[in-house]
Amino acid sequence: MLKSIYGQYFSNIVFCISPDAPPVPDSRFIAAPLKHGLLAYECLAIASRSFLNQKGYLFTKDDTILNLWKVADFDRTRIWSDWKNHGAQIMFTLSRDQWIWWFTPWGLNACQDAFKELISLNDLYKREARETTTNLQEWDVENSLNALLWNGRGFYRCYRSDVNVFYVPKSFSFVFERLSSIFQKHQVFMDIAVPTILRLIQLQEKIIELCGTDIGKIYGEEKANKNANYFWKHFSYNASYTKPVLFTSPSSENSVNADILNFIMRELERTNDCRSGFFDNLIHI
């Protein structure tokens, strides 16, 4: 279903699966330690290493459909990020945000552990710079820490938001890859890792904010996946994406509502901005 929607608009589509999953038939795919989706951001890091000559890397969850007519004109030299239901927590203080994921093994403590490794790495690079004339620094870690501090208005914060879609241009992909490896090492939940990593890379005001329609947040994921009527009730042409669209039914565990699929295809076909090849030289994960 995803290939039928995106195939004529993206020349480079890559599916991301866990290492123990069967290969995707007739498709390009990469394997990543997804941990049931908790660490899915590593998919983009692996894609940026595997497909080098691209303008950028666009990640969407498999139950999320991009409204391509909305994002087609977005600046592909800038980061795009879904910041719906966002929040933040100052590191090493009592939590004021009662979001449940902060208190899990993949939450605030894991994010703080990743931050502490960045501090240690920055100290290591500084010592090496003093002791040798050879610069072994992979990227400017201090600059990343300063960006996080600036974004936090003088505080180091871990951030959270719904991460259904995000885009990293080629110019930032190496730094994202290095930061992703650190956050993945400490098993930081995707909805914390991605918004925090992006604020380590770029100032928030320079990031394009994606505003989507998440039906699961309104009715709950289970109800949203079983009732296609919610799609028609909440679909918006002005949204960057709609989620979820993989509806289940009594007859099939993974059936797709044909009316919705046909509707999406018709809307894309009548949108000139989404003509074939418009998203060439961009990897869609």
Q: Compute the residue count for the chain.
A: 285
Provide the β-strand partners of residue 30: 16
Name the pTM for this structure: 0.91
DSSP state of 272: G
pLDDT digits (tens, 9 = 90+) for 64-88: 989 888 888 899 999 999 877 789 9
| Residue 129 confidence class, pLDDT cut points 50, 70, 90 | confident
| Residue 125 confidence class, pLDDT cut points 50, 70, 90 | confident
End-to-end CA distance of the chain: 15
211, 242, 241, 206: which is closest to 75 by C-alpha? 206
DSSP state of 274: G
What is the distance between the alpha carbons of residues 267 and 33, in angstroms, rounded to a whole number? 35
- CA torsion through residues 131, 135, 138, 140, sign: positive
* DSSP secondary structure, 139-151, as one string: S-HHHHHHHHHHH
Report strand pairing: 56-60 vs 80-82.
unpaired
Does the pLDDT at position 249 exceed 70? no
* DSSP secondary structure, 206-250, as one string: GSEEE--EEHHHHH-HHHHHH-THHHHHH--TTSSEEE-----BT
What is the distance between the alpha carbons of residues 139 and 200, in angstroms, rounded to a whole number? 12
Q: How far is CA 240 from CA 41, 165, 223, in A?
A: 19, 9, 22
Q: Residues 6 or more apart from 260 whose CB is under 8 A from it? A: 228, 231, 245, 247
Host H or E run for residue 51: none
Does the pLDDT at position 270 exceed 90? no
Does the pLDDT at position 254 exceed 60? no
Q: Amino acid identity of 40? A: A
Which comes out higher in pLDDT, residue 254 or 48?
48
277: left (phi over 0), alpha (psi -120 to 50) or beta: left
- Count CB neighbours of 138 within 10 A: 12
ω into 19 cis (within 30 of 0): no
Host H or E run for residue 160: strand 157-160
What is the distance between the alpha carbons of residues 117 and 185, in angstroms, rounded to a whole number? 10
Average pLDDT, the chain: 87
pLDDT digits (tens, 9 = 90+) for 207-224: 999 999 999 989 998 888
Does the pLDDT at position 251 exceed 60? no
ω into 244 cis (within 30 of 0): yes
Going from N- to C-terminal start, the domains of the chain cover: 2-284
